[in-house]
Structure 1
């Protein structure tokens, strides 16, 4: 029993730390060496990757890798839990199934990167560039405020809120003021996601779940909404112009503030 209680206490502590991670910005000096420097070179990262294969995945947990150029590297399955990758260049890199939980990727460049099936739980990714990136089937609960995912794919990805242990705080994806033009979100779980003031022009939300999502001020011009679930979504001041398949959307009558939609 003592062992079980100890494990439970540790689990609660970890959950509390994870919940707090989404609001860590106020307490962190983003200009400190810990946040802007690198303790490894690209060559050393490549050596670590080579040493880990084929037996297992390279582990960069907690490493300072900010500002490095790691573009084009195959980092599939690598573990970056709690790592610092601020302003790191990862354009065209392969991060399939990588673990980026609680990692810092502020203003990181992941243009055209592949993150299929990756885990990004409590990751800090404000103003990150993920244009044309592939995050299909990924698990994401990250702060992507001001990020750019133009032409990216989150098809089948789970960005929905973690509804367990609500006393620890709501863990969800934040895409406030993000650029999501032409986003492929087919079948994605976007329940309770913060999409306020995001631009979703031309995005494909077919069969996606927007249950309880906050869409205030978002631009949904030309979006595809076939099978999209709007149950409980907040549509205050949402620009809904020339949508495709709105008549085939689900639970649109259950969305909030439909009377405040901006139709053009």
Structure 2
């Protein structure tokens, strides 16, 4: 054999990436992962002071990053911010909201708040990103942090599950429409990830027992478990992947 196949590059040097929900948890981890791979990362979230500390820590490590204070649920502000930026090659949406309660106790206010962030904002962020990529005449990768709960049901998670199932359908439809333009769109579906927001759930013995019964591997997920998936979907290594969900669920949905 004269030549051997070459592994596609995970390198993001020269790429521009937007990470929403970047101030903590999964979003922060994904911002670091993309920056480590060479991308210039615009870190967006509502908490500008926290973002500035993150960007300072990233640049101290030699990464290329900047802060963008933004509430993606504010659609006019989102549109203005996206149009003011250079076109992104990668857009990773880690912004999200959860209001957990039994289905019979969920209020219209809870429903609207969760759907506004998890579905409506995700939808129009995707549209803004795709419009920029199409106008620039280039493709790109759009990634949404969804959830295993976009594929199954869960205790006291009817509203959250509704929102994440909607995101999974949205991504499939957008992949069909935008594929010819070279735009890929996918989701990452984590299981329970250890963050400040999820710690109260882990501290509940009954809930923790339910989680560990469902996860086939012997632990919950850490933020680092999501970072590799984000890099894969952002890079040329996933050039033929669109309209699908990458399960990072420890086997939760295997049965």
Normalised-by-shorter TM-score class: under 0.3
Q: Which has the higher contact order (CA 8 A, sep 6+)?
A: 2
Structure showing the higher strand proportion among its residues? 2
**TM-score, normalising length: structure 1:** 0.25
Structure showing the higher helix proportion among its residues? 2
- Structure with bigger gyration radius: 1
**TM-score, normalising length: structure 2:** 0.26
